[in-house]
Structure 1
Amino acid sequence: MAIRPRDLASRMGGRRKPSDGYLRETFKLPREQARQKARDFLTRYPKGGYMSAVESWRELPGGEIEFTMRRLPSAD
């Protein structure tokens, strides 16, 4: 039986979280709400201060988007 990329991504998603100092938040939202949430996150935690980024972004069956945002705990 062939492993589909989506199956592999789901298995890997359950693995231990990295201890690299970043805080992460994962969301599942319809596409337009996902885009707005990502924009709001980057406005609240600017890349220049918090090194914020969209870490992952994938479309789920049914059209929802699952994505993870990451940032440093402070802008120090």
Structure 2
Amino acid sequence: MVSRAPRSHFPKPPLDGLRKRLKESRDSGHQQRGAFIRESFRLPRLAAREKAREWFEQYPKAAYWTEIESWYERPGDIIEFTMRRLPNAD
């Protein structure tokens, strides 16, 4: 005999709002968890270095807490990395 969990008498909440927010965040190319905005890249080494410089120029570290959050060296001299920054300067 297989025992089953009792069924809930409460209806499931609608997930349309959550689906819409997830789609919008994925379409924008930016991820935001907590106070930081993150963007991930997968580029050849020289292009990756240039992209990181662009971020540090556009969002200075002192004002936006910009940093390279993580990076990995992939085969073929490809660098996969995530940049992180605050959404605005104080």
Sort the TM-score into its range (normalised by shorter chain): 0.7 to 0.9
The within-5 A match list for 1:1-76 is 19-76=33-90
Q: CA deviation at 1:57?
A: 1.2
Gaps of 5+ in 2: 1-30
Indicate the structure whose relative CO is greater, using CA pairs within 8 Å and at least 6 residues apart: 1
Q: Which amino acid aligns with 1:71?
A: R
Count how many residue pairs are aligned between Structure 1 and Structure 2.
Answer: 60
Q: Percent identity?
A: 53
**Which runs of 4 or more aligned residues in structure 1 lie more than 4 Å from their structure 2 counterparts after TM superposition?**
none
State the alpha-carbon separation in 1 of the partners of residues 55 and 32 from structure 2: 21
- Kindly name which structure, 1 or 2, has the bigger radius of gyration based on alpha carbons: 2
Checking the alignment, whether the CA contact within 8 Å between 2:32 and 2:38 is kept in structure 1 is no
Query: 1:10 — aligned with what?
Result: none
Gaps of 5+ in 1: 1-16
What TM-score, normalized by structure 2, do the two folds share?
0.62
User: 1:37 aligns to what SS in structure 2?
Assistant: helix
